[in-house]
């Protein structure tokens, strides 16, 4: 059975891993990057607390020794369902079963100026670009004599009150307190502000009211200005415009407000639902297709009675769907009944700052906050990293940061453009 997986995130990697060294399966994973990375921690790369290698791992090294797993670096161009074939930017592949695990990308809700000027927080490239931008703006502020221009360089607006927005704004607040004045004495008298903006009436809206209340109090105590029920409508000429007419002047707009899935040529238009997510049956097979599946953030499945509007786009859904689909492929091979997917909600969590986090557990229904929740967050995220090397490296960096209240990873690293003659 030839299985091709498009995308190497949580869903794709767990599917491949479950089929490793299984007789009767030849699995090829296709990704535009040659590495897997851990999205929940990219904000720590962006703020210089972790190196990119701490949260990423090469696919070929991960697949080494697994004889039936293969990797292909490439981007999907289109699907030819009638021929059981996909066209990549560098060739083509045949399949018996095709699985989309392409995740989601940043949604700007149709605002082209925001898309062009804001800093996204979705990929490892985004994180490195964000780190470079923020560090360059600090260096500019250090030599800027125009008070208004310097204020714009030092003001940070984070849009999106979900876990990413809360975590990155909390990290910035701690950096301002522990690092900025120590390393940038030129800015000792400069005004700086961190805004956390969300269009809803609460931070961490999917979590419990106890978590929302604690988070609002904690980020406010850190010095973050929280603006709720504030919808961004434009970002142009260093000005963030809100629907109510208010504005904020800044050169640092960080966009963590929404995601959307991708549309692929060859998949019927009727197979895409809300947020461009592929509509699937209880076994993750895409509607109106015979042997094409979708798992993780890129699919919407309304057959789970506990989630009639579709599952949340979180890591645990992707992981569990990858494992369930692997089990179903094994059942197909052995002519056994397939198992419909049912999500086991293990809870949700978010870190706010040092010794501050929130955790909600659904069964039994429990809420934790503060230091104990912070320890739970550290443990879960550490154990979720793909390799022991990642875990050891990340734990080491975290310990340095915890005791020193600092890290030494704030370098502006960008590839030098080479001429065609040098390439």
pLDDT tens digits for range 201-217: 999 998 999 999 999 99
pLDDT of 419 strictly over 80: no
Distance CA 22, CA 25 (A): 6
Kindly list the domain boundaries of the chain, sorted by start residue: 2-32+74-104+261-333, 112-258
Cα(351)–Cα(44) distance, integer angstroms? 12
Buried-state track 229-254, b at ≥16 Cβ within 10 A, e below 16 = ebebebbeebebbbeeeeebebbbbb
| Predicted pLDDT at 418 | 53
Mean pLDDT of the chain: 92
Among the residues of 224-370, which ranges form H helices? 315-333
Listing from the earlier edge strand, what are the strands of the sheet with 85-88? Answer: 76-80, 85-88, 91-94
CA distance to 141, 162, 173, 188, 191, per residue, from 147 (Å): 9, 32, 21, 13, 9
When pLDDT is averaged across residues 118-136 and rounded to a whole number, the result is 91
> What is the architecture, at CATH level 2, of domain 112-258?
3-Layer(bba) Sandwich (3.50)
Tell me the DSSP string of 141-161: HHT---HHHHHHHH-EEEE--
Please give the Cα distance from 120 to 130 (Å, whole number).
8
Considering the chain, what percentage of its residues have pLDDT values greater than 90? 78
- CATH number at 2-32+74-104+261-333: 3.50.50.60
* pLDDT tens-digit series, residues 32-42: 999 999 999 99
- Rounded to two decimals, the pTM is 0.91
- As a whole number, mean pLDDT of residues 54-64 equals 93
Name the strands in the sheet holding 97-100, side by side, starting at the edge strand that comes first in the sequence. Answer: 69-73, 26-31, 2-6, 97-100, 292-294
The values of phi and psi at residue 43, to 5°, are -65, -25
pLDDT band at residue 79 under the 50/70/90 scheme:
very high
Higher confidence at residue 71 or residue 405? Answer: 71
The single residue listed with the structure tokens 């990704």 is: 31
The pLDDT of residue 415: 60
The answer to which of 238-252, 288-302, 386-400 has the lowest mean pLDDT is 386-400
Write out pLDDT tens, residues 160-192. Answer: 999 999 999 999 998 888 888 788 888 877 778
420 pLDDT tier (thresholds 50, 70, 90): very low
pLDDT score, position 95: 97
Q: Answer whether 2-32+74-104+261-333 and 112-258 agree in fold.
A: yes
Show the CA angle centred on residue 48, arms to residues 44 and 54, nearest 5°: 60
Q: What one-character-per-residue DSSP string does 186-219 give?
A: GGTT----EEEE-SSSSSSTTS-HHHHHHHHHHH
DSSP string, 237-269: TTEEEETTS-EEE-SEEEE-S-EE----BTS-G
């Amino acid at each position: 059975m030839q299985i091709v997986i498009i995308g190497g995130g949580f869903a794709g990697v767990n599917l491949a891993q479950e089929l490793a060294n299984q007789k009767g399966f030849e699995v090829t994973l296709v990704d535009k990057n040659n590495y897997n990375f851990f999205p929940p921690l990219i904000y720590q790369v962006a703020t210089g607390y972790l190196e990119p290698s701490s949260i990423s791992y090469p696919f070929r090294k991960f697949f080494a020794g697994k004889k039936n797993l293969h990797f292909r670096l490439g981007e999907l161009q289109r699907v030819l369902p009638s021929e059981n074939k996909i066209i990549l930017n560098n060739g083509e592949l045949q399949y018996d079963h095709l699985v989309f695990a392409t995740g989601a990308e940043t949604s700007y809700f149709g605002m082209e100026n925001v898309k062009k000027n804001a800093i996204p927080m979705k990929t490892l490239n985004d994180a490195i670009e964000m780190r470079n931008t923020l560090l360059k703006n600090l260096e500019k502020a250090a030599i800027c004599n125009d008070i208004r221009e310097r204020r714009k360089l030092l003001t940070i607006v984070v849009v999106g009150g979900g876990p990413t927005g809360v975590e990155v704004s909390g990290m910035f607040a701690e950096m301002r307190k522990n690092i900025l004045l120590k390393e940038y004495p030129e800015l000792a008298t400069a005004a700086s502000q961190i805004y956390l903006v969300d269009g809803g009436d609460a931070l961490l809206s999917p979590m419990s009211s106890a978590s929302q209340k604690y988070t609002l109090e904690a980020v406010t105590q850190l010095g973050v200005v929280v603006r709720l029920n504030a919808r961004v409508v434009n970002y142009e000429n260093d000005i963030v415009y809100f629907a109510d007419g208010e504005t904020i002047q800044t050169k640092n707009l960080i966009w963590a407000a929404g995601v959307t899935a991708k549309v692929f040529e060859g998949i019927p238009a009727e197979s895409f639902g809300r947020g461009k997510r592929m509509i699937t049956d209880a076994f993750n097979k895409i509607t109106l297709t015979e042997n094409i599946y979708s798992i993780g953030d890129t699919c919407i499945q309304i057959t789970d009675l506990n989630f009639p509007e579709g599952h949340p786009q979180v890591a645990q859904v992707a992981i569990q769907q990858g494992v369930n689909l692997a089990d179903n492929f094994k059942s197909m091979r052995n002519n056994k009944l397939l198992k419909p997917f049912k999500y086991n909600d293990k809870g949700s969590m978010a870190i706010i700052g040092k010794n501050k986090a929130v955790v909600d557990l659904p069964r039994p229904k429990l809420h934790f906050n503060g230091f104990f929740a912070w320890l739970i967050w550290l443990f879960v995220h550490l154990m979720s990293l793909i390799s022991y090397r990642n875990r050891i490296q990340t734990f080491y960096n975290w310990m340095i940061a915890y005791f020193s209240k600092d890290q030494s990873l704030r370098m502006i690293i960008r590839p030098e453009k080479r001429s065609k003659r040098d390439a």
